[in-house]
Amino acid sequence: MKGKGKISVFILVALLVLLVIAQLYAPKPIDWSPNYERAKKSPFGTYIVHDILPWMFHGKISHSNQTLYNSLKRENYENTSFVIISNSFKPSKTDRDALFEFVEKGNNVLVAADYFDESFTDSLHIETDYYYQAVYDLFKPGISIGVCSPGLRSDSAFFFSSVRGITIFSSEKEMAIHAMADDSSIVMTSVKVGEGRFFLSSFPWAFGNQYMVQPSKQEFACSVLSHLPDENLIWDDYYKPFSKVRGTPLRYILDNQALKIGYFLALAGMLFFLLFRTRRKQRIIRIVPPNSNSSIEFITTLARLYLKKRNHRNIAEKRYQFLLDSIRNRYHLATLDLNDDFFSRLAMKSGVSEDRLKCDFRDMTEIRLLKSISSEQLSAFNRLVENFYKNSQ
């Protein structure tokens, strides 16, 4: 690698190191994603509400990180409540059937979500719609929710700032009302199924840490949870928006800042390795010489061999035989008898005059009949042959 290339690589590595250091010591941004995870202390985590569960439920508190079917089919649950808090609740048919069977045995389920799957609400004969504030009050941006709970006054209402819309419930049948929004829309209801009951709430964000740090909002969360009997409780960890249980290993790496930096550094290192390693180890392309015409070299060698022996008569005889062979192949004439008919037909086909042909062949015959041929006579014989090749067509 040349000097300039080394300097460029060094500068690039130094920039990467500085970037890593800056990322490690930079203040972490606030995570405003609606994750609803019990271990998260972010604004929409559920760390606080999960922390107060032992004060409200004196039974066994367990956690589920599997689908409803796998979680509820492994045991015969009794006197148990199941709590699901997420931005949306869209169980599969097998999970929904397992959940209904769980409730029919006398257990209870609380689902708090912004969105409910239509097949799930249809099975409970409930319709959902979305309530949105048409006029945004600059002095009072948010929604008030009144809770109907035995432990609270009937006019207890809780205000949630920065909330402009909420899912509301309705049904053709008479509904149980547990919480209502500003316009008297039902935002929490329950449906009895078998011996148990489904509790549906459309304000999962009310259980987030940003509201639970306020004492009044803790009272609100407790009033909602108080609808569940004081018994065993299962807290869902599976149906979360960013559940690591359902995510891939790559998602876990990208969620962790240190692992994320290490992952991208490893990718960058592999890329540099491939770029520079393949360049250094590239095989040399062998230069293939063009094919040479060795027949010319062979003929030249033979000619030098004959010339070295000084057998001019032999050379002249071979030149004469090659000439006759060329006439046979090119003009398709017999060369056994060189008579007038032969010269006449050869003149017609070759374009050389008949007199010229007779004169040249007579001179060649005279030279061939000599017992010894000098180099000058061989040259004269060769000129006669070459003149025929040159003038013929």
Give 107's contacts (C-beta < 8 A, 6+ positions apart): 77, 78, 79, 80, 81, 82, 196
Instruction: Please state, for a pLDDT cut of 90, what percent of the chain lies above it.
Output: 24
Domain-embedded: residue 36: no
Domain-embedded: residue 167: yes
Instruction: Please state, for a pLDDT cut of 70, what percent of the chain lies above it.
Output: 86
Same domain, 207 and 274: no
Domain-embedded: residue 289: no
Same domain, 274 and 312: no
Domain-embedded: residue 141: yes
Same domain, 13 and 71: no
The DSSP bridge pattern shows strands 127-132 and 165-170 to be: antiparallel
Same domain, 263 and 348: no
Number of C-alpha atoms within 13 angstroms, CB side, residue 256? 9
Judged against a pLDDT cut of 60, whether residue 1 lies above it is answered with no
CATH of the domain at 105: 3.40.50
**pTM for this one?**
0.58
Strands (E), the chain: 61-64, 80-85, 88-89, 108-112, 115-116, 127-132, 142-147, 157-161, 165-170, 176-180, 186-193, 196-201, 232-236
**Surface-to-core class of residue 224, CB atoms within 10 Å of its CB (0-12 exposed, 13-18 middle, 19+ buried):** buried
pLDDT at 197: 94
d(CA 15, CA 17): 5
Number of domains composing the chain: 3
Contact 170, 127 (CB under 8 A): yes
d(CA 375, CA 369): 15
Model confidence band, residue 3 (pLDDT cutoffs 50, 70, 90): low
Return the top range by mean pLDDT from 66-75, 136-145, 367-376: 66-75
Domain-embedded: residue 147: yes
Same domain, 216 and 337: no
Domain-embedded: residue 151: yes
Judged against a pLDDT cut of 50, whether residue 129 lies above it is answered with yes
Model confidence band, residue 243 (pLDDT cutoffs 50, 70, 90): low
d(CA 226, CA 150): 9
Judged against a pLDDT cut of 90, whether residue 103 lies above it is answered with yes
d(CA 35, CA 189): 24
Same domain, 375 and 334: yes
Q: Tell me which residue of 353, 352, 359 sits closest to 393, measured CA to CA.
A: 352
Domain-embedded: residue 347: yes
d(CA 25, CA 40): 21
Select the more confidently predicted residue: 49 or 316. Answer: 49
Q: List the domain range (segments joined by +) for residue 373.
A: 294-391
pLDDT tens figures, 17-30: 777 777 666 677 77
Give 361's contacts (C-beta < 8 A, 6+ positions apart): 338, 343
pLDDT at 105: 93
Same domain, 112 and 211: yes
Q: Which of helix, strand or coil describes residue 15?
A: helix
Same domain, 10 and 136: no
pLDDT at 49: 92
DSSP-assigned letters across all residues of 234-273: EEE-SS-TT-TTTS-HHHHHHHSHHHHHHHHHHHHHHHHH
